[in-house]
Structures are given as structure tokens and as C-alpha cells.
Amino acid sequence: MAWISVLASVLLLYAVCSSETRHAIDQGDLVGSWKTSGGDSIRFFADREVRTNGFSDSGEESCGDGGVGYWSFYVAMDERSESLQTSPEATAGDFISVSLQEGSERECQIDLSVIDEGRSLCVADLDNVCATWARFTRQ
């Protein structure tokens, strides 16, 4: 009977965690330092520069050490939001592109979802609002 309780708890946790929804955030609320409980950090600047220290849970091995790059919000290119594109002019959004320069030839790109009513960021992919358990919270 104890295993049924554990299974029910795991299923409930999965249901809660997999039901993340994105929330729009203004650029002014995004700018600043964000950090995970594991020590990864990201700092957004108003001029669209970004500095990171590690992305151990990003799923992108080439991004693991972090670096310097730029960020932008994604914007919908059609009414149904089926086509997204980054925009250097967008001042708000719920989906963020982070591009880090890895040497002179490589670039690493990570997408972040704004969740928890703008209080957290998570690494995303096209199929999942949050593709990992890591959450960046404002510092």
C-alpha cells in the first residue's frame, strides 16, 4: 500500500510541474541577476547584453560554462502565435532567447520561459514550457 501512496505523490508532482504556464514580463522586471539553487546564474542588462555563469541543466553541453552574449524576447508573427521570432525591439514577453558566443565560430542558444507570474525563469524548448527542473529566481 505504501507504494501506491508514493506513486500517487509522483503523479501529482508530475501533473503540477508539467502544467507550467508562461507569464509576460516587462524588460524592466527582467533586467538584473537571476540564480538557480544549483548556483547557475544569469544577468540581463538593459542594453540586451547577457552574462551567464553555467547552464548545467540547460541540455546544451556547449553552454555549460556560460559566457557573454545577448538576449531578446520572442514575438508572435501571426495571430495564432504559431510562428515566433526574436525581436530586439520587444520590451515585454513570456519567452526569451539567450545567445552566447562560444569562441569565434560557435554560438550557443538557450530559450527561457517566464513562469510563476514572472518570479521564475526556466530553460524551455518548443515542446515544453520548462524542459528541466532548474528554476532561475530573481536575486
Over residues 26-81, the pLDDT tens digits come to 999 999 999 999 888 999 999 999 999 876 555 555 576 778 999 999 998 887 76
Burial of 87 from C-beta contacts in 10 A (0-12 / 13-18 / 19+)? middle
3-state secondary structure 24-70: CEEHHHHCEEEECCCCCEEEECCCCEEEEECCCCCCCHHHCCCEEEE
**Which residues partner with 53 through β-bridges?**
41
Report the residue count for the chain. Answer: 139
3-state secondary structure of 88: coil
Question: Does residue 14 carry a pLDDT above 90?
Answer: no
Q: What is the pLDDT of residue 43?
A: 97
Q: Which of 17 and 50 is assigned the larger pLDDT? A: 50
Q: What is the pLDDT of residue 2?
A: 41
Contact 137, 117 (CB under 8 A): no
Question: What is the tens place of the pLDDT at every residue in 91-137?
Answer: 999 999 999 886 656 678 899 999 999 999 999 987 899 998 889 99
Q: What is the pLDDT of residue 66?
A: 75
- The structural domains of the chain, ordered by start, are 22-138 (2.40.128)
**Which residues partner with 26 through β-bridges?**
92
3-state secondary structure of 131: coil
Contacts 24+ apart (CB under 8 A), 71-77: 71/44, 71/96, 71/97, 71/98, 71/99, 72/48, 72/96, 72/97, 73/27, 73/97, 74/111
Q: What is the pLDDT of residue 65?
A: 73
